[in-house]
């Protein structure tokens, strides 16, 4: 047993004596506006799972790594009308539930569909106040972690809708409430390798974070993305991160490749950049990194990435003897005058908005679901996707890199139910700045390395004001020496804190006027041509002007897929339910 493992065991013994048990937990975090997370490892990084060999990293997907263990499947589940009911009757006989998958589409509670009101307080909301009774789900399952001496074991929650309390072996591990963020917990102190352990998640349907998740979609709850274990060397600190900048020099033929690695503790790092044929094009030999280390290489006659030609390179990263890989695409993104250019050429965004939606599973999408959506989009000449109104799972970005889509990546923020008045909107309430900033940075750091991410969005329909002024400045500073992606926000409208004009639902005449006036920013409506029912009127006229005027650069249709849920009537006949059916 080496010294690192001894320290881990000692910490585990200590925590076993001091950690809060489920019976002692008061469950107040979801009611506290100031608490956005507790106990999680630093997760603002590219989602990384290590492989044991370079060959495995290059030839298989993350899910096939020996350092990855899925916890998806059938879990035990208890449903309560409130947290108080759960505390009063914690040991009733459980049902079962499929994970991932929202509980309302599996027979627990009621699905709710509203547009802009808060479903828990449709009139006169007073944040951060919440209802006295909040439906609560308790998920539990057993698992057997396996990790060696000198390794750490992480629990990864890719998306939990609601306030999520995590317990391992009856000890409180942490809490989170950004439902579309990857949350990682170092559970090494709570478990033993090879010994069966208990995992429990207590999820409240609503939390103070729900005030920032007022999107126009089904308001449903629970674990709605993958759950998995991962392991990595204990010498790799939680704050380890890496960032790729892959752009083009002024000649538009030479690739500018920059790799930055950040670590608070010394770690050994090397890397290789491979082309599509597996040929080495650049490399960095092993160095001990502490703090920030940057490498830079020029790639002659680089093959460029775009939605039309999604040429990819592969970064193979070696960290402490373990391997990770990522796609790299060389493209130059810039605004010149009032035109947005990709690789020196103006683009027309033939875009759509997309929600995570499946008629059977609610917000959970399988790989096949995502691939079907992207295939149909390609078949219908769509080249751009807005992630309305939250970041999507890792696989979505990987496939957009591969197949070629411009992604308008959006933070998980919408407070539409508060309206837009500066005296009411949470976007102009400095008490809510930490919550806005947390969600915007969660999006940025998790997805910044994907070549497909072309536009950054601060959120949707959340008013404007000081919180969006501050976060706009912060993202612009982060992008200044990076990909220089435009930062946009639709509620900024004609204000300064958006790099493009991205309004919603303009008509054909508005397009004509904006083109004739030669508006000084690129014009790309973030939502237009509402597609429900018998709709999309005047789309041909809108595109007549988009093609005619250079500063009009397309838009994003609302939205990609109708959000019906599969139901059966009293006669056993299938139908697609809408919000009024519940």
Which of 47, 410, 461, 490 is an active site residue? 461
Torsions phi, psi for 326 (to 5 deg): -155, 150
Work out the number of other CB atoms within 10 angstroms of the CB of residue 451.
26
Active site residue 527: yes
Backbone angles phi, psi at 83, to 5 degrees: -65, -40
C-alpha dihedral, 19 to 21 to 22 to 27, nearest 10°: -50
Catalytic member of 29, 177, 232, 527:
527
Distance CA 433, CA 106 (A): 36
Rounded-to-integer distance, Cα 323 and Cα 50, Å: 5
* Dist CA 102 CA 83 (whole Å): 18
Distance CA(368)–CA(573), nearest Å, equals 26
Q: Is 491 exposed, middle or buried (0-12, 13-18, 19+ CB in 10 A)?
A: buried
Alpha carbon distance 133, 286 (integer Å)? 56
Cβ-proximal residues to 109 (8 Å cutoff; 6+ apart), any chain: 79, 103, 135, 205, 221
3-state helix, strand, coil in the chain (%, to 5): 25, 35, 45
Q: C-alpha 343: how far from its chain's center?
A: 26
Residue 196 structure tokens = 């069966």
436 Cβ contact partners less than 8 Å away, ≥ 6 residues apart: 212, 413, 426, 427, 459, 467, 468, 471
SS3 509: helix
Tell me how far apart the alpha carbons of residues 377 and 374 are, in angstroms, rounded to a whole number. 5
Q: Catalytic annotation on 461?
A: yes
Local structure of 142: helix, strand or coil: strand
Q: Which long-range contacts (CB under 8 A, 24 or more apart) does 18-26 make?
A: 19/171, 19/172, 19/190, 20/171, 20/172, 21/170, 21/171, 21/172, 22/90, 22/167, 22/170, 22/171, 22/172, 22/200, 22/202, 23/170, 25/165, 25/167, 25/172
DSSP states of 35-101? -SEESPPP--S-----BSSHHHHHHS-GGGSTTEEE--EEEEEEEESSHHHHHHSTTSPPEEEEESS
Helix (H) or strand (E) run with residue 10 in it? helix 3-18
Catalogue the active-site residues.
461, 527
């Amino acid at each position: 047993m080496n010294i690192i493992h001894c320290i881990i065991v000692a910490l585990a013994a200590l925590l076993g004596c001091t950690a809060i048990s489920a019976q002692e937990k008061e469950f107040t975090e979801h009611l506290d506006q100031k608490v956005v997370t507790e106990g999680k490892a630093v997760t603002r990084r590219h989602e990384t799972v290590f492989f044991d060999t370079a060959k495995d990293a290059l030839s298989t997907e993350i899910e096939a790594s020996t350092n990855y263990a899925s916890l998806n499947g059938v879990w035990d589940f208890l449903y309560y009308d409130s947290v108080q009911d759960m505390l009063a009757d914690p040991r009733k006989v459980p049902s079962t539930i499929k994970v991932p998958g929202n509980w309302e589409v599996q027979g627990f509670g009621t699905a709710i569909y509203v547009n802009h009101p808060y479903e828990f307080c449709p009139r006169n909301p007073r944040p951060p106040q919440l209802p006295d009774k909040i439906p609560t789900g308790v998920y539990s399952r057993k698992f057997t972690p396996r990790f060696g001496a000198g390794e750490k074991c992480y629990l990864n929650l890719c998306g939990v809708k609601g306030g999520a309390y995590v317990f391992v072996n009856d000890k409180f591990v942490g809490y989170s409430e950004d439902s579309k963020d990857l949350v990682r917990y170092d559970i090494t102190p709570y478990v033993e390798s090879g010994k069966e352990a208990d995992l429990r998640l207590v999820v409240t349907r609503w939390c103070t974070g729900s005030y920032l998740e007022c999107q126009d979609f089904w308001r449903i709850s629970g674990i709605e993305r993958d759950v998995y274990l991962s392991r990595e060397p204990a010498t790799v600190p939680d704050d380890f991160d890496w960032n790729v900048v892959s752009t083009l020099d002024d000649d538009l033929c030479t690739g500018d490749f920059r790799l930055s690695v950040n670590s608070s503790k010394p770690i050994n790092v090397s890397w290789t950049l491979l082309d599509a044929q597996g040929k080495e094009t650049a490399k960095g030999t092993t160095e001990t990194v502490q703090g920030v280390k940057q490498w830079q290489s020029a790639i002659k006659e680089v093959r460029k990435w775009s939605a039309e030609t999604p040429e990819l390179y592969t970064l193979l990263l070696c960290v402490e003897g373990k391997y990770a890989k990522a796609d790299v695409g060389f493209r130059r993104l810039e605004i010149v005058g009032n035109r947005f250019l990709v690789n020196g050429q103006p683009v027309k965004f033939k875009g759509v908005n997309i929600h995570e939606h499946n008629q059977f599973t609610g917000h959970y999408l399988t790989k096949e679901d995502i691939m079907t959506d992207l295939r149909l989009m390609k078949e219908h000449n769509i080249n751009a996707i807005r992630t309305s109104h939250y970041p999507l799972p890792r696989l979505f970005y990987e496939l957009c890199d591969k197949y070629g889509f411009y992604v308008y990546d959006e933070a998980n923020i919408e407070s539409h139910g508060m309206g837009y008045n500066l005296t009411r909107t949470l976007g102009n309430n400095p008490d809510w700045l930490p919550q806005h900033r947390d969600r915007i940075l969660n999006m940025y750091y998790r997805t910044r390395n994907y070549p497909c991410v072309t536009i950054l969005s601060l959120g949707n329909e959340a008013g404007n004001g000081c919180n969006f002024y501050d976060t706009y400045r912060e993202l612009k500073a982060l992008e200044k020496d990076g990909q220089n992606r435009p930062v946009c926000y639709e509620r900024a409208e004609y204000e300064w804190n958006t790099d493009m004009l991205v309004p919603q639902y303009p008509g054909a005449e508005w397009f004509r006027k904006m083109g004739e006036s030669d508006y000084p920013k690129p014009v790309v409506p973030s939502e237009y041509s509402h597609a429900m029912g018998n709709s999309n009127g005047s789309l041909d006229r809108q595109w007549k002007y988009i093609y005619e005027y250079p500063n009009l650069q397309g838009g994003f249709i609302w939205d990609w897929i109708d959000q019906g849920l599969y139901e059966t009537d009293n006669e056993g006949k299938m139908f697609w339910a809408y919000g009024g059916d519940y």
